[in-house]
């Protein structure tokens, strides 16, 4: 693993894999500490417990920059001719990460500035694009490996698929209070859009969870394993955050910023780390091949 972080002797740029990985880890740790230290609700002037507006703004900034950085790193892989894996996969990932970045901006603007319910909103258009592109990219990545899983590996995939599907279905069932609130407080088209998006996200989360498990097993071991393990773990992190958000928003008075929402930020950080590691591994392989040709 340490060899992946090594820089070439002629590389003097600060924008190298080692610095990117260190910055990503620092960003993830900063996000976790931020949520742990400041996510508690405090009473406002009316005695209602809520999180400070500056805290919610901070969570949006941490998330936005994580996905912006991941998008840039994925697109760098797409533009590089040295990338060993399918460059189209990184194009899909890059556009998906930038789309999630834009979706988060609109989500935060609707919640913080407009003081409106952010689901559904314009941001969901970008979130849907992200799920579609990342899902297609992961399918292409798995297909390129021509996976031939053993029986015990298929058992793991099926077990996780069953557990993830059951959990997502249970969480997506609104209680009577939440359902009544939705009927009374949301207009017709928003209610219909909310129902469609809710099930779209549930199905997408489960499918991504299954693909990520297959990806993790397919790329377990070997030279190209580490970047794709990062991508798989990033998908697991996205699933955890989505499931928590679906559960938490059963409460009509829910306010963004609970601790498990940090998994959204960690997902973006891990996607970026996976892209950086793939770029470095491909560059090292290209240098070795050029060295063999000279000899």
pLDDT tens-digit series, residues 250-261: 877 788 889 999
Residue count of the chain:
295
Transcribe 61-108 into DSSP letters.
HHHHHHHHHHHHHHHHHHH-TT-SS-HHHHHHHHHHHHHHHHHHHHHH
Element (H, E) at 60: helix 53-79
What region, left, alpha or beta, does residue 30 occupy, with left being phi > 0 and alpha being psi -120 to 50 degrees?
A: alpha
pLDDT band of 125, cuts 50, 70, 90: very high
For the segment 147-173, what is each residue's pLDDT rounded down to a tens digit? 677 888 889 999 999 999 898 888 877
Transcribe 127-176 into DSSP letters.
HHHHHHHHHHHHHHHHHHHT----HHHHHHHHHHHHHHHHHHHHHTS--H
Distance, CA of 64 to CA of 97 (rounded, Å)? 10
Q: What is the pLDDT of residue 291?
A: 53
Which residues on neighbouring strands pair with residue 42, listed in sequence order?
Answer: 50
For 265, the token pair is 């930020």
**Weakest mean pLDDT among 4-13, 31-40, 51-60, 227-236:** 4-13
Q: What is the pLDDT of residue 14?
A: 75
Average of per-residue pLDDT values in the chain? 84
Distance, CA of 82 to CA of 286 (rounded, Å)? 6
Of residues 34 and 216, more confidence is placed in 34
Q: Which residues contact 44 (CB under 8 A, 6 or more apart)?
A: 50
Question: Is residue 118's pLDDT more than 50?
Answer: yes
- Which residue in 215, 217, 229, 212 sits closest to 4, CA to CA? 229
Best-predicted range by mean pLDDT (75-89, 188-202, 207-221, 274-288) = 75-89
**Do 266 and 194 touch, CB atoms closer than 8 A?**
no
pLDDT band of 286, cuts 50, 70, 90: low
Sign of CA dihedral 144, 73, 276, 235: negative
Q: What is the pLDDT of residue 27?
A: 97
């Amino acid at each position: 693993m340490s060899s992946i972080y090594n820089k070439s002797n002629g590389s003097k740029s600060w924008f190298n894999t080692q610095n990117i990985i260190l910055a990503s880890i620092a960003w993830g740790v900063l996000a976790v500490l931020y949520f742990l230290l400041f996510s508690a609700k405090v009473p406002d002037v009316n005695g209602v417990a809520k999180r400070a507006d500056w805290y919610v703004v901070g969570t949006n900034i941490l998330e936005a920059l994580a996905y912006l950085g991941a998008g840039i790193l994925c697109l760098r892989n797409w533009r590089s001719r040295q990338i060993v894996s399918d460059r189209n996969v990184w194009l899909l990932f890059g556009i998906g990460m930038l789309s999630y970045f834009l979706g988060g901006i609109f989500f935060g603007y609707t919640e913080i500035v407009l003081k409106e319910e952010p689901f559904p909103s314009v941001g969901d258009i970008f979130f849907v694009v992200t799920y579609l592109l990342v899902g297609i990219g992961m399918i292409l990545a798995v297909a390129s490996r021509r996976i031939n899983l053993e029986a015990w590996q298929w058992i793991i995939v099926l077990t996780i698929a069953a557990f993830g599907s059951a959990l997502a279905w249970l969480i997506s069932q609104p209680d009577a209070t939440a359902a009544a609130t939705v009927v009374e407080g949301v207009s017709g088209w928003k209610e219909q859009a909310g129902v469609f998006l809710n099930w779209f996200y549930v199905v997408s989360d489960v499918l991504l969870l299954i693909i990520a498990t297959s990806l993790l097993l397919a790329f377990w071991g070997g030279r190209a394993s580490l970047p794709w393990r990062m991508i798989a773990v990033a998908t697991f992190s996205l699933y955890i955050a989505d499931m928590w958000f679906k559960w938490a928003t059963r409460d009509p008075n829910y306010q963004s910023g609970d601790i498990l929402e940090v998994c959204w930020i960690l997902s973006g950080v891990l996607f970026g780390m996976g892209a950086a590691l793939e770029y470095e591994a491909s560059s090292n392989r290209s240098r070795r091949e050029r060295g063999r040709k000279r000899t």
